[in-house]
């Protein structure tokens, strides 16, 4: 992904003491999220908060019901809260064996909104969530909690799609933007014993001339522009790979042409990557995110877990 950011963009250095928020819903994907944590973070370098949201927005019309129905629904609500507490308790016990002391908090409200608010309130540096594991090229529901959190979260989001393995191979989308450089900084902050091989992929998107009947001279200009973009993409890939090698990673840079999201997914499959890291600009409108986000494409179709770096 070439030319996506300002010239000379550099990452901001993270403040010490990472605050991690992990959303739990009782699914196997959120269980995988717990096991993923030691592969990307160190208990010595941060704190962990587990959250589970109970959506009671459907019960706002409670006052309009007759007394017997209200009493029945109150009992249902009590059962929901007890079940949510048990989900959190089990997650806390599991996380404590992997991480050490953790906090747990029960949230109320629409899950995506409640988790996003909690991440903002806690000033989280990383939000870890489970995905339903959609890997085929098929649409996700617009109401997906994980997808909505990718829009609303105030921090980087790790979407866990597979059971945890040792983090050995990473594909990093590099476009020279501040977000992609901050993703490099995040990788450099991994514990010293975690130094995966990193493929730095800089992707040149296709020029919007496919299917158009354009003069030969315009095609020639298009080839010239593509050559310039390729050289710039090569500079980005080489620079990022060199920065990672200095930090102890086995890193290589490659330049690809095509749809950035699809190319990153393809490379991850070919490299058998455990993780794709991609930047995403915050502040997108819902329409812009759903219609054109590289991060959204990657999360939907990736064969592995994905870290979406939002600044």
We report the CATH number of the domain holding residue 280 as 3.40.50.12370
Of residues 255, 238, 239, 240, the one with CA closest to residue 203:
255
Residue 289 has pLDDT above 60, yes or no: no
- Our CA dihedral for 262, 266, 269, 272, rounded to 10 degrees, sits at -110
Residue 95 has pLDDT above 50, yes or no: yes
Residue 102 has which token pair? 């953790």
Give the pLDDT of residue 93: 92
Give the pLDDT of residue 170: 97
Dihedral class, residue 44 (left if φ above 0, else alpha if ψ from -120 to 50, else beta) = alpha
Domain-located, residue 1: no
The pLDDT of 33-56, averaged and rounded, is 86
CB 272 within 8 A of CB 169: yes
* Total count of domains within the chain: 1
Kindly report the average pLDDT of the chain as a whole number. Answer: 80
Domain-located, residue 259: yes
Give me the domain span that covers residue 198: 18-310
More confident residue, 109 or 262: 262
The pLDDT of 23-30, averaged and rounded, is 86
Domain-located, residue 70: yes
Most confident of 15-19, 88-92, 159-163, 273-277: 273-277
In whole angstroms, what is the distance from residue 271 CA to residue 276 CA? 11
Domain-located, residue 5: no
Tens digits of per-residue pLDDT, 175-195? 888 888 999 999 998 888 889
Which residue's entry shows tokens 């308790």? Answer: 89
Domain-located, residue 12: no
Question: Bridge-partner residues for 128, per DSSP?
Answer: 22, 158
What pTM does this model have?
A: 0.80
Domain-located, residue 305: yes
Binning pLDDT at 50, 70 and 90, where does residue 79 land? confident
Domain-located, residue 187: yes
In whole angstroms, what is the distance from residue 271 CA to residue 199 CA? 8
More confident residue, 133 or 41: 41
The pLDDT of 122-141, averaged and rounded, is 66
Domain-located, residue 9: no
């Amino acid at each position: 992904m070439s030319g996506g950011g300002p010239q000379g963009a550099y990452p901001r250095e993270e403040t010490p003491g990472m605050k991690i928020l992990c959303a739990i819903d009782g699914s196997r994907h959120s269980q995988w999220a717990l096991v993923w944590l030691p592969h990307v973070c160190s208990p010595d370098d941060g704190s962990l908060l587990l959250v589970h949201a109970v959506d009671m927005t459907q019960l706002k019309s409670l006052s309009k019901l007759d007394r017997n129905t209200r009493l029945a629904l109150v009992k249902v609500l009590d059962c929901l809260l007890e079940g949510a507490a048990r989900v959190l308790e089990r997650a806390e016990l599991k996380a404590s064996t992997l991480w050490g002391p953790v906090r747990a908090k029960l949230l109320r409200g629409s899950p995506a909104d409640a988790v996003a608010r909690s991440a903002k309130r806690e000033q989280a540096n990383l939000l870890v969530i489970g995905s339903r594991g959609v890997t085929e090229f098929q649409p996700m529901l617009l109401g997906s909690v994980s997808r909505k959190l990718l829009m609303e979260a105030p921090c980087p989001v790790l979407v866990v799609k597979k059971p945890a393995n040792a983090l050995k191979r990473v594909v990093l989308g590099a476009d020279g933007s501040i977000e992609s450089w901050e993703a490099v900084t995040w990788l450099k902050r991994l514990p010293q014993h975690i130094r995966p091989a990193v493929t730095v992929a800089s992707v040149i998107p296709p020029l919007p001339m496919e299917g158009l009947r354009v003069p030969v001279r315009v095609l020639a200009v298009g080839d010239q522009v593509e050559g310039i973009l390729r050289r710039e993409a090569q500079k980005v890939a080489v620079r990022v790979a060199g920065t990672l090698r200095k930090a102890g990673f086995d890193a290589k840079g490659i330049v690809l042409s095509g749809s950035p999201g699809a190319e990153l997914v393809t490379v991850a499959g070919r490299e058998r990557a455990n993780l794709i890291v991609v930047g995403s600009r915050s502040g997108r409108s819902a329409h812009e995110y759903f219609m054109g986000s590289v991060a959204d494409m990657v999360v939907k179709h990736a064969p592995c877990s994905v870290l979406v770096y939002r600044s």
